[in-house]
Structure 1
């Protein structure tokens, strides 16, 4: 199995550089925000952060391909860096501190490295294949992550995206029935839901519409912490256009509850 220690150190260096840009622009009065053709938001900080990462990768990994959210993909290597300069742009532009830079390495179609840097929360999470999942401020100051051991939906904590997003894909009844079956449901938002799964604080996270750059960095962290990360149809990894992450023990049942065209299970009211 290839070792990705050097790549992981590079990801931290990239995150250090991006953090100086994003923190300076967070809550800045002159932050420039536009609406993209797909009606999502982009700020000048998003574009500046992605260009900074790309420029450093051109110097340090010139043979690798780069896929980002804001700029065209470059290169044709089997090693692909996948960048989301600011995951949670809506939070970023409104002054909510739940946003992060996502840096992933996909090697021959497998996400093998992920780093999630949330400077406004003072947290980072990272993982590389075979090296475990970790959280802290740096490689030398970290603790290992483990998913929870919760095995029943009635004891599970669930983090979901907005109900309107589930209605748009025709699964709102299913997701509401799943939420009613769980002990607790909240919407922690974007990357944070999945990092809480890796940390054992949340047992299930799901979103119905996502892109590769939204998910690639999350997959190694969740799976190296002992969890599972698939699409709603059960496809492993970040390539299915949506996401379900769990501690593994609950995964098959959650997929069945959320299955398209399936009948939501009837469950009694929670006490």
Structure 2
């Protein structure tokens, strides 16, 4: 289990990341470039990851660390999983829906998740058994956090689901699963033909765009969507939001039904819908 000291450290790490990100956000020169996989990266991404790794090492020198930009460091039963800026494209564009994702994995299970979105002024966090909370960032004693609790869903046929990334960035197998879910539910965001790899013009917006959140899984945790499917993802894209969705009452697995962060797929859902959606997605394989 994660203790209160780990949660306090996660808040301090988030404050540190927020400060660095604010310094770079909407700056004239972000030092943006494309990585080998075509995704963007900025000097802010790198600076935040370096700073958080140094802070964790100073407080817990035996803990392991993995980040999107610089990979894995160390081996331990405790591992911090960091995405310095999730939504770098939005960060570069000057849009507010980006965040830092912070997770702690203990003995292979994620025991702490935090998402800090300073441009939105919001932070979400959860640890097992303590609920999911949303509050301002940085923490403000005069504005106490609110607890998020989900109600059960009904039929998946009536559900609204978000899927990301768009079909042009998915494999044939991933597109088949996405298309099956899109066809079997009432609403899909973005509203695309998920069965073809055609490039949409203009490029589609993320499901979270304009929602006041910054990650599709948060749309589930806050009750704005019934489900969210993320494909082609790394552990840093998934880990932090697992306890946030689950402690609100929702569910998580990859497309094989396992609670893993290393298979590239993550399905988050309102309670009562997960198995129905998983069956739809599997039927496409």
Cα pair distance change 1:38/1:167, threshold 3 Å: closer
What is the TM-score of this pair, normalised by structure 1? 0.90
Does 2:47 align with 1:44?
no
Cα deviation, 1:149-186, whole Å, max 9, x if unaligned, reads: 22112332211114325752434354334224333222
TM-score by length of 2: 0.85
Answer with 159-168 or 72-81: which moved more: 159-168
Look up the match of 1:252. Answer: 275
Look up the match of 2:194. none
- 1:223 aligns with 246
Tell me the secondary structure at the aligned position of residue 173 of structure 2.
coil
Contact 1:148/1:203, CA 8 A, preserved across alignment? no
- How far is the alpha carbon of 1:30 from its aligned partner? 1.0
CA distance in 2, matches of 1:151, 1:99: 31
- Provide the secondary structure at the position in 1 that maps to 2:102: strand
Q: Does 1:153 align with 2:152?
A: no
* CA RMSD, 1 decimal: 1.9
CA contact (8 A) 1:171 1:258 kept: no
Q: Which is worse superposed, 135-144 or 85-94?
A: 135-144
Greater Cα offset, 33-42 or 216-225:
33-42
Query: How far, CA to CA, are the matches of 2:55 and 2:127 in structure 1?
Result: 20
The 4+ residue runs of structure 1 with deviation greater than 4 A are none
Post-superposition CA distance 1:4-32 (Å, at most 9, x none)? 21111110111111101111211111110
Equivalent-residue separation in structure 2 for 1:200 and 1:148 (angstroms): 8
Deviations 1:93-128 (A, max 9, x none): 122221110000000000000000011122111001
The structure 1 residue matched to 2:188, chosen from 185, 189, 212, is: 185
How many residues are aligned here? 261
